[in-house]
Amino acid sequence: MAIQISGTTVVNNSRQLQNIASVDSTTKTNLVSGLISGTNNSGASIKGDGSGGIFFAGEQVGVDSEYNSGTGSYTVPSGANYVKVFVTGGGAGGGGANACSTSWFQSGGGGAGGTMIGFYAVTAGDTISYSVGGAGAGGVGQSNGTAGSNSTLSKSGTTFATGGGGNASSFSTGGTGGSATHSGMVSTSAQTGGAGQNGGAEASFKGGNGGTSYYGNGGNGGHYTHGSSPLGVSRGAGGGGAGIHTCSNRNGAAGQGGKIVIQAWTAVG
């Protein structure tokens, strides 16, 4: 995607500024600050505040820092003035099943965690605190699963990115996906987690599949058996619900825990 300002191409299919010498200092400052508007190479209007998918020209400093569990801190490295973050909440567990009750013979899948993506202004040496949301548990017999937990990033006590945990199923109804919110970020993409499938959607006595996250599919619903958990790489995905046609317990599956990725970036200009 190219960005043109007054007929000058300043970004052309890369993250690097092009023809930087021909752009005045005010324009460069505004571009880096995410305030400038422009057009793509099809003539469509875009804005640097994220509505057109372009924030600033820049380059990544170092490698990704990935966190799959727990809490801790990240220190912004030298040369970086922004971080780009991917914050995914934990996936919910699928519901259990027991055909002693018609309400419980095919339970819904758990919802997936939401994912918040965007850039946040920082200074080298700043400390960012992270908390990765855990997965919800699967239901046992006649019980719903539990919701996933939120994943968050904060600086100086203020939370600036949240990937909401997925919501649990209710009987045969699949859980809704987690939300994604932010404060003070730019060039954002807030992706709600996928909803869990309703029980019986594919076949009678089959639990619903877990919701799909940013990283992959949820677990399969059990057909006359227990639900399945998502693959380990599908961070934030929901667990499958259970299905059964007899008066005995089958268990829903746990979801996958959330994930946080932090990239250090420097704006060019």
pLDDT in tens, 94-132: 999 999 988 899 999 999 999 999 999 999 999 999 999
Residue 66 has a CB neighbour count (10 Å cut-off) of 13
pTM of the model: 0.81
Q: What is the pLDDT of residue 102?
A: 84
Give the pLDDT of residue 64: 96
161: Cβ contacts below 8 Å, ≥ 6 apart = 85, 87, 116, 118, 120, 152, 153, 181, 182, 185
CA pseudo-torsion sign 16, 18, 20, 23: negative
- Residue 101: per-residue pLDDT: 87
Cβ pair 241, 221 in contact under 8 A:
yes
According to the model, what pLDDT value does residue 52 have?
A: 38
Q: In this structure, how many other beta carbons lie within 10 angstroms of the beta carbon of residue 217?
A: 18
Long-range Cβ contact pairs of 35-41 (< 8 A, separation 24 or more)? 36/5, 38/3, 38/4, 38/5, 38/10, 39/3, 39/4, 40/1, 40/2, 40/3, 41/1, 41/2
Query: Which structure tokens are listed for 219?
Result: 């677990």
- In this prediction, residue 56 carries a pLDDT of 52
C-alpha dist (Å) from residue 88 to 21, 130, 248, 262:
39, 12, 35, 12
Q: What is the DSSP letter of 236?
A: T
Beta bridge partners of 119: 84, 186
What is the pLDDT at residue 63? 95
Residue 268's pLDDT is 61
Chain centroid to CA 114: how far?
Answer: 4
**Hey, which bits of 16-156 come out as E strands?**
37-39, 45-47, 58-67, 71-75, 82-88, 115-121, 127-131, 151-155
Query: Do the Cβ atoms of 243 and 222 come closer than 8 Å?
Result: yes
Distances (CA, A) of 26 to 17, 20, 29, 35, 52: 15, 12, 5, 11, 21
Q: What is the pLDDT of residue 267?
A: 78
Taking 50 as the pLDDT cut, the residues of the chain under it are: 1-8, 10-55, 269
